[in-house]
Structure 1
Amino acid sequence: MAKITVLFLLLAVIQASLALKCKVCADNDGSCSTLKDETCPAGGSDREAACLIHIYKDAATKKEMTEKKCVNRFKNTGKYDCIEIPNNQQVKCYTCVEDFCNEKNSATKFGVVGLVSLVLSILVSKLL
């Protein structure tokens, strides 16, 4: 019985470590100068958790505003539709699915997972 409990505890730890982590704007002034970490909730059966970067230009002040948060996008297309704010000009709206990939204002295509995969594949090919 203790082995089953340990197994479930281990699975819970693994699941928590696999959850997507994103940066979220801690200030509400649109500058997004202060970020905090957030673990994203899992999406429904047809959705997946993703980190969002939404940059738009305020119509009145002409100042770029930034929104960063967790969202759920469609799994099959990777699509998420940013909510357009009336009278504002949308500059960028994209999602990514690596931990803290929305920390900067540009998404990296390669990411940490790609880099780790590349290093592991080189090491394995050298060992075999």
Structure 2
Amino acid sequence: MPATTWNKFVIKYPQSPAFMARVSATLGNARRFDNSKKKLPTPYGLLKEWIEKNFTGDWTSTVEKGVVCIRVATPQDVSLLTARFPIRGPAGKTPAANVTYRISYADYDYPTLAREVGYNI
């Protein structure tokens, strides 16, 4: 399901949880294309591709200073997200949401997730 804008999502789902992960905003010195010549996305873009392929409900995301923040509307999509990217530690309150979890997604997860999404690396 495609994402909605952050502000529209927050108005529609004010109590939705947020999930955060620290990732690079660029590929840095990494390769830019996979073995099939497809252009590789940033770590943030790759996570968004995974979400688009798997979520059925509304969601939104943003990235600032290397921190990805995702808000999710449905319990089913929360379960999908946390099954794939387990929660690390207790929830906290952040400027992004009253309930915010840190998930296990980082730059080193990129190759595995890229293969899951369909890249040939």
TM over 0.5: no
More strand, by proportion:
1
More helix, by proportion:
2
Bigger radius of gyration: 1
Identify the TM-score tier after normalising by the shorter chain. Answer: under 0.3
Q: Give the number of the structure with larger relative contact order, counting CA–CA contacts within 8 Å between residues 6 or more apart.
A: 2
